[in-house]
Amino acid sequence: MTSTQDDRLDPALLRLVGVLLLGGLMGLLDGTIVNVGIDTLGRHFGTSLSTVGWVATGYLLAVTVAIPLSAWAVDRFGGRRMWLMGLSVFLVGSLASGLAPSIESLIVFRVIQGFGGGMLDPVMLTLLARAAGPARAGRVMGLMGVVIPLGPVLGPIIGGVIIQNLDWRWMFLVNLPIGVTALALSLRVVPADPPRAERGGNRLDIVGVALLCPAFATLVYALSQAGEGAGFGATRVVVALAAGAGLLVGYVVHALRARTTPLIDLRLFTSRAFSASVTVMAVTGVMLFSMLFLVPLYYQQVRDHGVLAAGLLLSPLGVGSFLAMPVAGRLSDRVGTRALVPAGAFLIALSVLAFTQAGVHSGEGGLAVCVFGTGLGLGFVGAPTMGSLYRTLPAASVPQGTSALYVLNQLGASLGIAVAALVLQSRVSDRASAEVAFQSAFWWVFAGALAVLVAGCFLPGRPAPLPAAALGQEVGGSGVRDPGVSHT
């Protein structure tokens, strides 16, 4: 790409990116904002922490169930309709959660909220990929990618501020002004797209839904239980892992034999570029959520900081990713993904290495620089990899590819937290052992960085230039329309 026109994102596309980011950020915030308020909710409702834990677990499981369904829903009803539906369900769940009269109703409302949130992020990626087209995939994914690390990083900070200064209900009600604004702007900005059902699209894969959604939900439940203290040897964890694996094998057999389009087409994985991309993003989920879990806990248990201070000391990770992703996304459209991802992984490994040696007296300024470096590295891994995925996917496979990407990233996140928690639980007995335990746990993140460094070598290199007629067009062929035009 040589012309300056190729380097610009037109105003309509920028407006679309901004509106979708506003809506998508809510779902990512709510995945972690409640975690700092678990004790407060337990005291308010007078119930055990294990029961209150389902406020977070129920949300997570609903997100996991919704993600595989999003691909079919986008094809059946259209991306715009499903985006508006996801926003609406999320807002209803947020309002109901903020007004919940009991812990049981709060758990139910959080499940509703999670189902809406589980639709938002995959649909957001699908809409952006279609609007950007292959030539601009990296740049748009770089802009979109800033919310992936920022949401989980900002969640505990915002949650801590709310718990310290406001009623707990504002952890959920804070979504209302953001969501209503995103919904109003989406009605004007998000372009209409005809459902594939109107063009001879496929029916819902009922057998796939019955196998795949419970499989992922069961696996995420098992990993979350292992991370919360049960360990991988607990009966309920072993049973859940076995059940999830069995359902997953059943889905693989079904998908390979299906005569109609399965919920997620496994033939996508025959592409080396696609397999490498989703593998990198799965391991990136392991690294990101391991850091989100370990860094604040390190500052609390080893350095005696409060919850809010620990969250603020994690913020350089979000800042680093925020700065790196747009730059890395733009570069990937020029030089390719293979040149950037291994460099990002090397930076992560180098930054995390400092935490494997960190103790009670380590300088917090130096550690903050390392957290920032980890964020930069994650940015140079995430945006180019997502851009590579959407440059190589056929237009019709974008929703399914997005679902596969998010499901594996979610499983990676759950696995990262579970293993990190297991390492800590097996070694912490006092302050001195806590220091050694955290050092051991950070080696887990270091190993993930090395895995990404290797997998990054299998990603595509420099993208081939597209014909001039293809530049600026949507993957699906319709482009981004001016928001002043009606899209109904």
CATH number (domain holding residue 175):
1.20.1250.20
pLDDT at res. 139: 74
Asked whether residue 482 is assigned to any structural domain, the reply reads no
Distance CA 71, CA 360 (A): 48
pLDDT at res. 248: 92
Q: What sign does the dihedral 98-101-104-108 (CA atoms) show?
A: negative
pLDDT at res. 426: 63
* Amino acid letter, residue 179: G
Q: How many helices (DSSP H) and strands (DSSP E) are in the chain?
A: 18, 0
Asked whether residue 285 is assigned to any structural domain, the reply reads yes
Asked whether residue 488 is assigned to any structural domain, the reply reads no
Per-residue pLDDT of the chain (488 residues; tens, 9 = 90+): 343 344 566 788 888 888 888 888 887 777 777 777 777 888 888 887 678 878 887 888 888 888 888 888 888 888 899 999 999 999 999 999 999 999 999 999 999 998 998 888 888 888 887 777 776 777 777 776 666 666 767 777 787 788 778 888 998 998 999 899 999 999 999 888 777 654 445 677 888 889 988 898 898 888 877 776 667 778 888 999 999 999 999 999 998 887 777 888 888 888 888 888 899 999 998 898 888 888 888 888 888 887 778 778 888 988 898 888 888 888 887 887 888 999 999 999 999 999 998 877 788 889 999 999 999 999 999 888 888 888 777 777 888 888 888 888 888 888 888 888 888 876 655 555 778 888 888 999 999 999 999 998 888 877 665 554 444 444 333 343 333 333 33
Contact 478, 191 (CB under 8 A): yes
pLDDT at res. 230: 65
Asked whether residue 421 is assigned to any structural domain, the reply reads yes
pLDDT at res. 468: 44
pLDDT at res. 407: 84
The answer on 286 and 365 residing in a single domain is: yes
Distance CA 305, CA 103 (A): 30
The answer on 176 and 297 residing in a single domain is: no
pLDDT at res. 74: 86
Domain coverage including residue 434: 265-464
The answer on 379 and 298 residing in a single domain is: yes
The answer on 399 and 275 residing in a single domain is: yes
Q: CB within 8 A of 207, min separation 6: which ones?
A: 254, 258
Q: Give the number of residues written for the chain.
A: 488
The answer on 98 and 235 residing in a single domain is: no
Contact 392, 333 (CB under 8 A): no
Contact 234, 226 (CB under 8 A): yes
The answer on 374 and 240 residing in a single domain is: no
Asked whether residue 336 is assigned to any structural domain, the reply reads yes
Asked whether residue 178 is assigned to any structural domain, the reply reads yes
Asked whether residue 481 is assigned to any structural domain, the reply reads no
Contact 68, 119 (CB under 8 A): no
By three-state DSSP, how is residue 75 classified? helix
The answer on 340 and 426 residing in a single domain is: yes
The answer on 126 and 35 residing in a single domain is: yes
Asked whether residue 143 is assigned to any structural domain, the reply reads no
The answer on 247 and 184 residing in a single domain is: no
The answer on 218 and 170 residing in a single domain is: no
Which of 300, 245, 333, 312 lies closest to 438 in space, CA to CA? 300
Provide the number of structural domains found in the chain. 3
